[in-house]
């Protein structure tokens, strides 16, 4: 069978199964298994590749950060972050919108997950903002997009997956995430400031006081120290990203149970169950995606595509734009982990062939995956938002539009200004 025919069979089966609404992990596994049979490989290859993909010390960072984020969310740590942010900017017109953005940025430095950030911050801020007169769909859209800071501001689950696959330095990509995250926070705050005047969003009656800021800072200082401890340990070389995940679990557990006393031991069983389900979904997708990706190399599909691109004479930015568009399209239909583990083994050789730095590609992958989480039909952030707002997908999507524009502008800045990312190499 020719390489082109095999590629058509592999992707064709995957697309057909997706149309039939088969879960994405099964789509990847079934398509890969059929192609392995056609190529004459023993089916034991499937289990071997899945095991090898997950038998990694770096991968352990994912369940640990998920567990740590769930403990912090259930333990009331996000509530203290909101109180601190409100003491800073809650007194101006549309101030609660700025509180949402800043609180999501702080919580992003704790959780590493978009949907977790949406639920942790949105479930508390949405009722209060609606009560004060903010339009429901605009609040829901803001929360859904601001939650996208979760995977961009370190620690980030999607960055850990990418760096594990490509053998890229995790600390370097985390550093770039801070810069891009700061740009996104500034852009969304500016949009919120403009919208607060256009739509006459309410203004809080309480005045800004240093005393109030210091009091809220005192109450939230343990929560604010969490990213300093975890990320400081990574950058100083004191511990790895996986060890940082373990530190986040024990730190959040100690703070929530023994200091804040907002979490009881009996609550941990529910948290462990929720975390285990989330981890199993992610890890199973990663396992089946690895088999799918391995076929790119062993069958010659990857080399065939690289040679095709080189023969076409495409340069740095044309290739980068094509990769960005493809990632955005796949992000509309696939969960982020599946997109990364399936496409990166295909795109990385192409990117390296035209001189694209792995860090630059990693940040583009992260941002496009985040935008995919905000846009239908998959839209994990929207689904997370609908659980506490009760609004339909269409209403939330409408409220997202101004903030999605911010993400797209920053994405284009990252695409055409690689130095923003590569300076951390």
pLDDT at 375 over 70: yes
pLDDT at 74 over 90: no
DSSP string for residues in 62-129 = HHHHHHHHHHHHHTTHHHHHHHHHHHHHTTSBTHHHHHHHHHHHHHHHHH--HHHHHHHHHHHHHHHH
CA nearest neighbour of 279 among 51, 65, 71, 63: 63
What share of the chain in percent tops pLDDT 90?
Answer: 20
The helix (H) or strand (E) run that includes residue 393 is helix 393-416
How much is the mean pLDDT over the chain?
A: 85
Predicted local confidence at residue 290, as pLDDT: 81
Predicted local confidence at residue 226, as pLDDT: 80
Predicted local confidence at residue 411, as pLDDT: 95
Q: Distance of alpha carbon 168 from its chain centroid, rounded?
A: 17
**Cα(274)–Cα(253) distance, rounded to whole angstroms?**
16
Confidence of residue 400 (pLDDT cuts 50, 70, 90): very high
Reported as a single tens digit per residue, the pLDDT across 87-133 is: 887 778 888 899 899 988 888 877 777 888 888 888 888 888 888 88
> What residue ranges do the domains of the chain occupy?
20-422
Tokens in use for 153?
Answer: 């501001």
3-class SS letters over 167-213: CCCHHHHHHHHHHHHHHHHHHHHHHHHHHHHHCCCCECCCCCCHHHH
Best-predicted range by mean pLDDT (5-14, 81-90, 415-424): 415-424
Predicted local confidence at residue 306, as pLDDT: 67
- Residues 308-331 have a mean pLDDT of 83
- Residues 360-367 have a mean pLDDT of 94
- Residues 199-227 have a mean pLDDT of 82
Predicted local confidence at residue 354, as pLDDT: 87
Number of residues that make up the chain: 425
Tokens in use for 414?
Answer: 């990252």
């Amino acid at each position: 069978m020719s390489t082109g025919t095999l590629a058509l069979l592999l992707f064709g089966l995957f697309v057909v199964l997706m149309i039939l609404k088969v879960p994405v992990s099964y789509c990847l596994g079934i398509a890969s298994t059929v192609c392995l049979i056609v190529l004459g490989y023993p089916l034991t290859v499937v289990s071997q590749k899945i095991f090898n993909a997950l038998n990694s010390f770096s991968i352990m960072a994912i369940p640990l950060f998920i567990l740590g984020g769930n403990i912090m969310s259930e333990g009331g740590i996000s509530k203290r972050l909101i109180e601190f942010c409100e003491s800073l900017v809650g007194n101006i017109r549309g101030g609660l919108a700025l509180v949402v953005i800043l609180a999501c940025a702080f919580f992003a430095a704790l959780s590493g997950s978009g949907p977790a950030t949406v639920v942790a911050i949105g479930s508390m801020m949405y009722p209060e903002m609606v009560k004060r007169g903010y339009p429901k769909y605009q609040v829901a859209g803001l929360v859904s997009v601001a939650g996208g800071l979760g995977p961009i501001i370190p620690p980030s689950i999607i960055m850990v997956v990418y760096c594990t696959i490509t053998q890229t330095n995790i600390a370097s990509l985390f550093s770039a995430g801070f810069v891009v995250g700061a740009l996104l926070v500034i852009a969304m705050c500016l949009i919120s400031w403009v919208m607060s005047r256009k739509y006459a969003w309410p203004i809080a009656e309480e005045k800004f006081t240093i005393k109030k800021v210091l009091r809220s800072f005192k109450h939230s200082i343990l929560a604010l120290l969490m990213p300093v401890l975890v990320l400081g340990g990574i950058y100083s070389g004191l511990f790895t990203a996986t060890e940082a995940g373990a530190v986040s679990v024990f730190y959040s557990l100690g703070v929530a149970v023994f200091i804040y006393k907002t979490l009881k031991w009996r609550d941990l069983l529910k948290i462990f169950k929720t975390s285990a389900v989330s981890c199993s979904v992610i890890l199973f997708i990663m396992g089946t995606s690895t088999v799918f990706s391995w076929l790119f190399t062993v069958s010659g599909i990857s080399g065939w595509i690289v040679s095709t691109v080189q023969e076409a004479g495409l340069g740095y930015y044309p290739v980068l734009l094509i990769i960005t568009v493809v990632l955005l399209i796949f992000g509309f239909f696939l969960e982020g982990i599946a997109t990364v583990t399936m496409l990166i083994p295909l795109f990385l050789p192409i990117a390296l062939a035209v001189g694209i730095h792995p860090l630059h590609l990693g940040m583009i992958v992260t941002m496009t995956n985040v935008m995919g989480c905000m846009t239908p039909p998959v839209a994990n952030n929207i689904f997370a938002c609908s659980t506490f707002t009760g609004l339909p997908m269409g209403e939330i999507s409408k409220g997202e539009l101004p903030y999605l524009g911010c993400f797209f502008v920053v994405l284009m800045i990252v695409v055409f200004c690689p130095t923003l990312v590569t300076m951390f190499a």
